[in-house]
Amino acid sequence: MMKKPRIVLDSSLPYLRGLVEEVAEVTYLESRAFSPETIRGADALLIRSVVRCDEALLSGSSVRMIATATAGYDHIDTDYCAEHGIMWRNAPGCNAGGVVQYVLSSLSAWSLDRGIDLRGMTIGIIGVGHVGGELLERIGALGLRPLLYDPPRADREGAEGFSSLEEVLRESDILTLHVPLTREGKYPTVGMVDEPLLRACQRRPLLINACRGGVAPSAPLLRALDEGWIREVIIDCWEGEPQISADLARRAYIATPHVAGWTADGKWRGSRMALAAVCGALGLDEPQWLWDDSLLPRPIEPRIRLRDYPEAERVRRAQLRTCDPRETTALLRAHPEAFESLRRGYIYPREASAYTLLDPEAGDREALSLLGFRVV
């Protein structure tokens, strides 16, 4: 019998125990326990973003494949891997549904708390990749008009359908950021949300950062709030994590510890995509139940009776039943120094597809289906 390959797996990755053992010998390690000694003899690593895969970890190892169960991969030294014949894969789009859920829930809460009618407002989506693209597909459920800014895509695909940054800043009532963190190239995003950009906003928009903290540093945001260039901020990704600006946390309408993409569904997708990539790279058959989602936890109340809410609020109230960032905001505002522990203790919500809506009005059915709910 052929010897099974050895996989070293981050023990914090959910929904994989019992599956990996079907195809490999498995060692589970805590994220901080990965070292040259603990991965010795490994053929593959299954990780998340806490594990830095570079020369310090990989030199002299037998690792042939690295798979991260995250969309981002800046914790993998891809140049080193290329030079040493190490394959790697990320899980693009695995968290897109979670980030979109966070944005839609935050907007629903904001509009209800502030008495703002979102219908007809303009939202500028900066970055139209996996997350921005899925947000674009769903944002109509809240009656918002999108403007799209993504110059790399416009260069590749043509300018039709995309707006200039000047138009987005002039017209948007809401700005939401969904770009990768890049330092080089034609369109670097590090520090792109600076004072000149914020000063150019014409409609005092609500600004949302659910991509990377380095895209929107704290000092310009605080200045923009002081000067009235922007109305409010919703922040999930922070400059200098986990040492975040306590002042910005107190002043943000929503302040959460980098958990926007953390849904049970997204974690399940990321873990599965990473294991599938390892199986493909090592020539292994995928485990029989790899894509069975029956192990995902059920919501405490998976059926939502819409008639319990005022008619004009039902779509937004349903959205908030999937995820309400205000609960975590209260904790982070009170204890910004507890960023890491709040993140570790975060309970993954389910996405809208796990919920069934009862008694929807005919006029709400399309919007609720667009948000991903089961509608009966």
End-to-end CA distance of the chain: 52
Measured CA to CA, the distance from residue 329 to residue 237 in angstroms comes to: 13
User: How many whole angstroms from its chain centre is CA 257?
Assistant: 12
Please confirm, yes or no, whether 258 is among the known catalytic residues.
yes
Residue 285 sits at the vertex; the CA angle it makes with 281 and 288, to the nearest 5 degrees, is 135
The reply to whether 241 belongs to the active site is yes
**Residue 130 annotated in active site:** no
Which one of the listed residues 171, 195, 232, 241 is annotated catalytic?
Answer: 241
Catalytic residue among 89, 130, 138, 212: 212
Active-site entry in 178, 258, 269, 321? 258
Residues noted as catalytic: 212, 241, 258
